[in-house]
Amino acid sequence: MPLGALTGTDAGLFEAQGGDIGRVSVGVASRPKVSLPAASVQDDSSDGFLRFPAGTLQRVMKEGKGAKPSVDQKVRIDYSVWYDAFDGEKKLVDKRALESRVSDTPRWLQETLLSMRLGERRRIVLPGGHVSGAKGARYVQIQLVQMRVSAGIIQF
């Protein structure tokens, strides 16, 4: 299921918040592009989390290997979301094998995916304003499990 087609409680998490979400068209017509952050600043008070330009805090939990996806590639991810904390009691979502083109995801997720290597797992703190209707932060764990390339599929 494409990320933009999510329904129910997890829909707002991976959908663009109407209007401009900070994407710029460059190169291939009609395909939005995102530039990677030149350097993320480490936040010493956040246990090794790095702040990304879209406002998320991210920490690599498991290093990936191999290539990083491009903005035009389809990727498959596993993800979990909590209301209260990572591995908390209030789990909102636990999905496997969710597929979407990187360019069809919100800016924060594009930044994340474009900087991940296959097999990598990250924990991400999403401030409340990143999720439609959310009044507090969401705690997201994502693992990049597959990338589609013109010659076939690369899997972790």
Structural domain boundaries in the chain: 34-155
How much is the pTM? 0.71
If you ran DSSP here, which 8-state letter would residue 66 be given? S
Show the tokens assigned to 147: 């990338």
Residue among 69, 64, 72, 59 at smallest CA distance from 104: 72
- Does the pLDDT at position 110 exceed 70? yes
Most confident of 8-22, 32-46, 60-74, 131-145: 60-74
Provide φ and ψ at 92, rounded to 5°: -95, -45
Give me the torsion for CA of 4, 134, 56, 62, rounded to 10°.
-70
More confident site: 155 or 121: 121
> What whole-number distance in Å separates Cα of residue 156 and Cα of residue 82?
25
Which of 24-28, 37-41, 64-68, 69-73 comes out lowest in average pLDDT? Answer: 24-28
If you ran DSSP here, which 8-state letter would residue 19 be given? S
Handedness of CA 120, 130, 108, 30 (dihedral sign): positive
Mean pLDDT score of the chain, rounded to an integer? 75
> What whole-number distance in Å separates Cα of residue 117 and Cα of residue 66?
6
How many Cβ atoms are within 10 Å of 62's Cβ, its own excluded? 9
pLDDT of residue 43: 57
CATH class of the domain whose range is 34-155: alpha beta
pLDDT of residue 29: 30
Give the model confidence (pLDDT) of 127-152 as tens digits: 886 666 567 889 999 999 999 876 56
